[in-house]
Amino acid sequence: MRAVLAEWTLVPAALPTTLLLWGAGLGWWRSEGIEYVAFGANTVLLLCWGLLACRAAGHTWGRAVRIGCTDALLGVAVALASTLLK
């Protein structure tokens, strides 16, 4: 139970994508191509979270932008590797 509670941050991290896909399933918007929108939204979220974490740690804007972009690129690399391995 402690291990599950320690990973609570995964729930809010997955929430935007879940809501996006859920909304498409309910017909709030077109479901055609929604996976590309979700991928783009997740990439932007990775960039923003990296940027905000760096700024909270006291880094300069330039360093924060570089680290945020690196986070986003790592997310794309993981998605690409996952796709290629399937």
Q: What tens digit of pLDDT does each residue of 63-77 get?
A: 999 999 999 999 999
Give residue 31's pLDDT.
82
- Average confidence score pLDDT of the chain: 89
Q: Is the pLDDT of residue 53 over 90?
A: yes
DSSP 32: T
Cβ atoms within 10 Å, residue 84: 7
What domain range is 80 assigned to? 2-85
DSSP character at residue 40: H
Q: From residue 3, how far is each of 7, 11, 14, 15, 29 by CA, in Å?
A: 7, 14, 18, 20, 37
How many Cα neighbours within 13 Å face the side chain of 18? 6
Residue 11 confidence (pLDDT)? 81
pLDDT above 80 (res 43):
yes
Q: What is the pLDDT of residue 13?
A: 82
Q: What is the pTM of this model?
A: 0.77
Question: How many independent structural domains does the chain possess?
Answer: 1
